[in-house]
Amino acid sequence: MRVVAGELRGRRLRAPRESVRPTADRVREALFAILGDVTGLVVLDLFSGTGAVAIEAISRGAARATLVDTDPAAARANVAALGLEERCRVVGGDAIRFLRRDRGRYDLIYLDPPYRLARRLVSELEDLVPARLADGGLAIVESASADPIELGLPTLDRRDYGATAIRIQGVPR
């Protein structure tokens, strides 16, 4: 797994063999092609795993990113290996609890809950995510294409990549 584009293009990201399902390089490449310029944006990567999506955003010019995962070891290792500690904050903990206490506003919120838990989490995420979006912000939801989930926001784009579904939601700028 590598950073697809930007200043860190080609740099390798490490993923543990178990416990995470990193977003595939081709899915990240397609997602950022859809999103276009992310320069200066503030990103929240929930259920971040390796941190690949947030790191990709930083590589492509995002101003800063917050990565949240119950097991932040892989994200911390990748952020440190790439020297991104100044632009990336890694938070160990539950994404729902983070959303309940955080008061930040984000231009992009990427949600990639474990597929087996996604359906159970969607109602809480629907309640909490919109309040964390900046004006014109987007929520990007990754889920299983066999059981895609969406939040209660307008859907701007829907894409399936094999077993992965991506839903881009929010109010366009």
Listing DSSP states for the chain in one string gives -B--SSTTTT-B----SSS--PPPHHHHHHHHHHH---TT-EEEEET-TT-HHHHHHHHTT-SEEEEEESSTHHHHHHHHHTT-TTTEEEEES-HHHHHHH----EEEEEE---HHHHHHHHHHHHHHHHHHEEEEEEEEEEEETTS----SS-EEEEEEETTEEEEEEE---
13: in domain:
no
- When comparing pLDDT for 132 and 9, which is higher? 132
Look up tokens 């390089």; give the residue. Answer: 25
Q: What confidence score (pLDDT) does residue 22 get? A: 66
Q: Report the 10 Å Cβ neighbour count for 2.
A: 13
Alpha carbon distance 77, 84 (integer Å): 10
**CATH number for position 147:** 3.40.50.150
7: in domain:
no
- Total tally of structural domains belonging to the chain: 1
16: in domain:
no
18: in domain:
no
Q: Are strands 164-170 and 42-46 parallel, antiparallel or unpaired?
A: unpaired
Beta bridge partners of 132: none
Q: Percent of the chain beyond pLDDT 90? A: 73
Tokens linked to 102: 């955080």
Q: What confidence score (pLDDT) does residue 25 get? A: 78
Q: Is the pTM of this model over 0.85?
A: yes
CB-based contact 50:13 (threshold 8 Å): yes
Average pLDDT, the chain: 92
1: in domain:
no
pLDDT digits (tens, 9 = 90+) for 50-86: 999 999 999 999 999 999 999 999 999 999 999 999 9
pLDDT digits (tens, 9 = 90+) for 12-42: 888 875 656 667 778 889 999 999 999 999 9
Domain extent, residue 156, equals 25-170
What's the average model confidence in pLDDT over 130-152?
A: 93
Closest by CA to 48, choosing from 25, 83, 78, is 78
5: in domain:
no
What's the average model confidence in pLDDT over 105-130?
A: 93
